[in-house]
Structure 1
Amino acid sequence: MTFNNNQLSVLLTNIQERSAQGAWKSLDKARIPVILSTTAKGLLLMDRKENVEVHPCPDTEFYDFKNWVYSKINSDNGLLILPINEAIMFACDTLRKAHPEMANRFIMPSSSSLHYTLSKFNATKAAIKANIKTPETFFIKESGSDVINLPSKSLKYPRILKWDNVLNPEGNYEKGSLRVVANTIELEDSAAELAPSNCSIILQDMVPGHGVGAFFLRQNGKILLRFAHRRLHEVPWTGGVSAYCESSDDQEVLEAGERMLEAINYEGLAMVEFRKENGKSPLFLEINGRLWGSLGLALKAGADFPKAMVEYHCQQKTSVKQPSLKNKVRWHEPGFDMMFLQSLWTEQSKSRNETAPKLKGLCQVIINFINPNIGNDWMRLNEPIHTSKRYLRLVKHQLSYLKRAIIRSLEKEKTSSIVEETALRTQILGKDLHSVQNILFVCYGNICRSPYTELKWEQLRLENPQLPKSISVGFHDNVARTTPARFQSVARNLGVELTNHRSRRITEELVENADLIIAMDQRNLQDIQREFPEAMKKTILLGAIHTSANPEILDPYGQKIGTGGQIYRRLDIELDHLKNSILQ
């Protein structure tokens, strides 16, 4: 494809993202026509909404998004696609494989390169094979396999569990993530909870230090453009997304990145991420094949990756010159910098006895906002109105955050009266449960907590036939729903099979027949009080039978990986307390 401004245009998706904004700025400056698009939700986050097309969400409407891209390409022979995130790259790669004639329409890494950028599992294996240093790694599960390989040797914890991007059975693209596991039990539960998604999983040692990245545009075995940065602030402060960073000429990091790409014969844009402790060699973490959030730093330093990518794709050469990496440039993202600041007070180091640098961090954030030499994506002198709106929105958001924090603090100091009253009632009724014949376990949806308690209780009844019978219900109006696969898996790992469970709604008849109603949390109590106020006198909280210190057992639905195992293991403990109270 030949570069021609009169025929060529580049489609940028998810234009509300920082990386897409940087690409837009680069290509607009190079006078390369750009078509802007985003999701309906993304459009709400933009200051300028004119001339922005709306596309299906690539995460939750994966197939619709893929069809949308296909139709855009078919309707415009001069359209090139520059994918912004992993879900979009995955969708475009499936199109590229299914329609080889479209291959030159996508400005993105080769399919063989995406094998590593979309998988920490594959990338880490390749790094080890290439003798590039990595944190100690255990390969727990590979995508497509049902085998979970937990470490056989005794390990020191905490460690980081990481899982890859995956297209789930429901057709949603799930972005990989990570969590800190404190012990073997948390590792087992999290691995079981992740198993149904069919993603690859690794377990790694936690690495102190700071994040560093080496960025390359590599084509036909040659590096066309390189850049490196060091993260100075991350979200959270213990390690994560870049909030404040500086350019770097760390040759050890750049050389390690180049060796990694050479080992896998990488083609395209690559961000090779490492973590580095002062005085030690960098440890490889992952490869990203997309434009990154701190792209503005590279652009300010003269490393114009978007322009170079488009020019090379069309002309097999680029006019972008390699900038000197000796000149230090700093960049911050105002919103993320405020999140970094918040994390200094809310996050604790899980790996070592590190103390949050609160005063130093506060001073540096203030400097970042007032020092004109520290760049950011928000300050645009040619758009004073939009720039003002961004900062005013940030102030509004921070005030809202402060208000919520104060409210949460007050609520924490004063337990809800209905919970407090029920916890007291639980302590009283719990001393005389011998006459109970029928128990009604209640949660909101009857798909996670209450069905687990019902089936676990039935197991206890097999050992102790004198225990009362039980049934579980919820308040959700949609009945016959199944337990989510992730919770079925973790429950199965704990000896409870939820495959055949179908949700039921609470009824007046079930309430009347129950001698004891056992709820999980405040919401359940409020629902019972609203629909069956007379039943409150025989309603208790499962979590308050043994102690009233932590009476609520919260809903794991929609929560992070690992929550299911924590909740189910607590239910086991509380049911054991209930059994002992009845049998004593």
Structure 2
Amino acid sequence: MNSQPLTSGTLMFDGGIGTTISPSDAPLKRPDSQSRLDRVLILDGNTRSALAATRSLGMKGVHVVVADENKRTLAGASRYCSERFTYPSPTGDLEGFLATVKRECSRREIGVILPMTDISTSTVLRHREEFEPLRVPFAELKAFEALTDKWRLFQLAQQLNLSMPKTQFVRDINSLGDVFQALKFPVVLKPHRSMISSNGRWIATSVRYARSVEELKAIAARYEYFSRHPFMIQEYISGQAEGVFVLCDQGKPIVFFAHRRLRERPPTGGVSVLSESIEPNPEAQRIARTILEHVGWHGVAMVEFKVSAEGTPYLMEVNGRFWGSLQLAIDAGADFPWLLYQSAIGTDLDKVKPYSTGVKCRWLLGDLVSLWKVLISNGSGPHPLPFGKVQSILQFLNFFEKASRCEVNRWDDLRPFWLEMTQYARELGSSFVKRIVRPRI
């Protein structure tokens, strides 16, 4: 399937700031009418990016269908979701996932499909021909694999002589001894993927920190995604976390957006819970452009950096899909879901004003969890907390900051927030019960 061309431009945000179907191999109906192109399927409905995309497209009159493994989802709870359905897990029942999504796309006359996570994106791209003639406005699988596999990404960054942390590539745990002399602690252990298939199952990976050789050995032996798979050991870079977000047309970056993370979960570095739109760091923008042009990228991508006190941006990773803090870009005027949808249906992008800087977006639940992590911390981690406990409390209680909005809880669309809080309360309750009934030896 050929992706549709784009025309350069940036759009301002115009709105202020199921059931499980049995698998079927029925052929997809051809979305040859404009009405079908007005119908979009968003996968991974319980992600914040899916919620942001649903609101963005739904506000503009697009018929949004939300799907997920679960019946109750953030995007599915939005007033801007028109229909919803569930599908089998792509990691546990690939054939069921493909058959269900294909059947529902045909039955609901979907014209465009937007996956939101690495798993669903790679699955759709790997089986792209099966979804034709649906529009899938993403890069080819080869390019996606080149950037989302961190081992390959940093090998490429070295070849292109781009700024990145000093990196040791470890093919297996038995070769660890070969790299010890080159290490300066603390170091970062980074898996080559965010999700890894191992022994017929998928496991979620996580970055780990080590302050000594002994701690490094223990971590590598403890976690399967280190002990049985390739990984990297990188120098720890302290500094400001920033992201450069890009929309590309067949290898040509045409829209840029940037933000900096003001608070994260966990507080020592991770997912953004409070971020602010900024002008792109020129060198970070150059690095992002170089990488994306090199692989011939198409569609959206997020390129993450740590910017040192001297102003040097160090490449951290690339996400070849929508990102968690997507709502900030939309609020600031870089409406990536709408831009990507327009690219999918072949509509020229209107040239309007660039996005606004200084706009902030807050994930309230994530911010609350981050605050709790600060309050219970004893300061024994591999690197210090960014703020003290009193300062963290005062920052959290600042609900009236100018140009700041909450990401999930919006007054005109509150159901996703209530669902999110309900889901979290259930998770806490389940965790508490497990601790109470855990057998004591």
TM-score, normalization by structure 1: 0.61
**Match of residue 136 from structure 1:** 166
Q: Give runs of aligned pairs for residues 413-428 of structure 1, distance below 5 A.
A: none
Q: What is the Cα-based RMSD across aligned positions, in Å?
A: 3.6
**Match of residue 161 from structure 1:** 189
**Match of residue 79 from structure 1:** 111
Aligned equivalents of 1:195, 1:390: Cα separation in 2: 32
Tell me: CA distance 1:107–1:129, structure 2 relative to 1, closer, same or farther (3 Å): same
> Which of residues 84, 109, 126 in structure 1 aligns to 2:139?
109
Tell me: CA distance 1:266–1:103, structure 2 relative to 1, closer, same or farther (3 Å): farther
Aligned equivalents of 2:131, 2:324: Cα separation in 1: 31
Q: Give runs of aligned pairs for residues 154-193 of structure 1, distance below 5 A.
A: 154=181, 155-163=183-191, 164-166=193-195, 168-192=197-221, 193=223
> Which of residues 349, 353, 358 in structure 2 aligns to 1:328?
358
**Structure 1 residue 210: deviation in Å?**
2.2
Identity across matched positions, percent? 25
Tell me: CA distance 1:77–1:199, structure 2 relative to 1, closer, same or farther (3 Å): farther
**Match of residue 463 from structure 1:** none
Contact preservation (8 Å) 2:47, 2:75: no
**Match of residue 126 from structure 1:** 156
Letter in 1 for 2:190: K
Q: Are 1:37 and 2:37 an aligned pair? A: no
Tell me: CA distance 1:62–1:233, structure 2 relative to 1, closer, same or farther (3 Å): farther
Letter in 2 for 1:173: W
Letter in 2 for 1:523: P
**Match of residue 286 from structure 2:** 255
Q: Are 1:152 and 2:183 an aligned pair? A: no
**Match of residue 235 from structure 1:** 265
Contact preservation (8 Å) 2:43, 2:115: yes
**Structure 1 residue 296: deviation in Å?**
0.9
**Structure 1 residue 263: deviation in Å?**
3.0
Tell me: CA distance 1:187–1:62, structure 2 relative to 1, closer, same or farther (3 Å): farther
Aligned equivalents of 2:151, 2:326: Cα separation in 1: 26
Tell me: CA distance 1:174–1:316, structure 2 relative to 1, closer, same or farther (3 Å): farther
Aligned equivalents of 1:388, 1:105: Cα separation in 2: 31
**Structure 1 residue 151: deviation in Å?**
3.8
**Match of residue 358 from structure 1:** 389
**Structure 1 residue 196: deviation in Å?**
8.9
Contact preservation (8 Å) 2:243, 2:259: yes
**Structure 1 residue 180: deviation in Å?**
1.5
Contact preservation (8 Å) 2:243, 2:305: yes
> Which of residues 292, 297, 303 in structure 2 aligns to 1:272?
303
Contact preservation (8 Å) 1:138, 1:202: yes
Tell me: CA distance 1:196–1:333, structure 2 relative to 1, closer, same or farther (3 Å): closer
> Which of residues 308, 327, 346 in structure 2 aligns to 1:296?
327
**Structure 1 residue 284: deviation in Å?**
0.2
Aligned equivalents of 1:125, 1:119: Cα separation in 2: 10
**Structure 1 residue 265: deviation in Å?**
2.8
Q: Give runs of aligned pairs for residues 173-572 of structure 1, distance below 5 A.
A: 173-192=202-221, 193-194=223-224, 199-249=229-279, 250-315=281-346, 317-319=348-350, 321=352, 323-325=354-356, 327-347=357-377, 348=379, 350-352=381-383, 356-367=387-398, 369-371=399-401, 373-383=403-413, 386=415, 389=418, 397=425, 523=439, 525=441
**Structure 1 residue 167: deviation in Å?**
5.2
Q: Deviations over 1:399-456 (max 9, x none)?
A: x79x96xxx9xx9xxxx9xxxxxxxxxxxxxxxxxxxxxxxxxxxxxxxxxxxxxxxx
Letter in 2 for 1:51: E
Tell me: CA distance 1:315–1:392, structure 2 relative to 1, closer, same or farther (3 Å): closer
Q: Secondary structure at the match of 2:260?
A: strand
> Which of residues 2, 8, 11 in structure 1 aligns to 2:41?
11
Contact preservation (8 Å) 1:159, 1:204: yes
Tell me: CA distance 1:15–1:171, structure 2 relative to 1, closer, same or farther (3 Å): same
**Structure 1 residue 308: deviation in Å?**
0.8
Contact preservation (8 Å) 2:276, 2:360: yes
Aligned equivalents of 1:248, 1:296: Cα separation in 2: 15
Q: Are 1:54 and 2:86 an aligned pair? A: yes
Aligned equivalents of 2:291, 2:412: Cα separation in 1: 41
Aligned equivalents of 1:31, 1:216: Cα separation in 2: 24
Q: Number of aligned pairs? A: 403
Letter in 2 for 1:313: A
Contact preservation (8 Å) 1:273, 1:286: yes
Q: Secondary structure at the match of 1:109?
A: coil
Letter in 2 for 1:241: V
Contact preservation (8 Å) 1:83, 1:107: no
Aligned equivalents of 2:273, 2:92: Cα separation in 1: 27
**Higher RCO (C-alpha 8 Å, min separation 6):** 2
Aligned equivalents of 1:73, 1:388: Cα separation in 2: 28
Aligned equivalents of 1:388, 1:106: Cα separation in 2: 29
Letter in 2 for 1:291: F
**Match of residue 552 from structure 1:** none
Letter in 1 for 2:210: V
Tell me: CA distance 1:225–1:195, structure 2 relative to 1, closer, same or farther (3 Å): closer
Tell me: CA distance 1:524–1:85, structure 2 relative to 1, closer, same or farther (3 Å): same
Contact preservation (8 Å) 2:48, 2:408: no
Q: Which has the larger radius of gyration?
A: 1
**Structure 1 residue 170: deviation in Å?**
4.9
Tell me: CA distance 1:300–1:109, structure 2 relative to 1, closer, same or farther (3 Å): same
Contact preservation (8 Å) 2:186, 2:210: yes
Unmatched runs of 5 consecutive residues or more in structure 1: 417-521, 526-584
Letter in 2 for 1:183: S
**Match of residue 127 from structure 2:** 95
**Match of residue 420 from structure 1:** none
Q: Secondary structure at the match of 2:348?
A: coil
Contact preservation (8 Å) 2:300, 2:320: yes
**Structure 1 residue 194: deviation in Å?**
2.8
Contact preservation (8 Å) 1:39, 1:56: yes
Q: Deviations over 1:105-153 (max 9, x none)?
A: 32322212211332111111111211111111111128xxx97455434
Letter in 1 for 2:367: D
**Structure 1 residue 195: deviation in Å?**
6.1
- 26-35 vs 197-206, which moves further: 197-206
TM-score, normalization by structure 2: 0.79
**Structure 1 residue 322: deviation in Å?**
6.0
**Structure 1 residue 376: deviation in Å?**
1.6
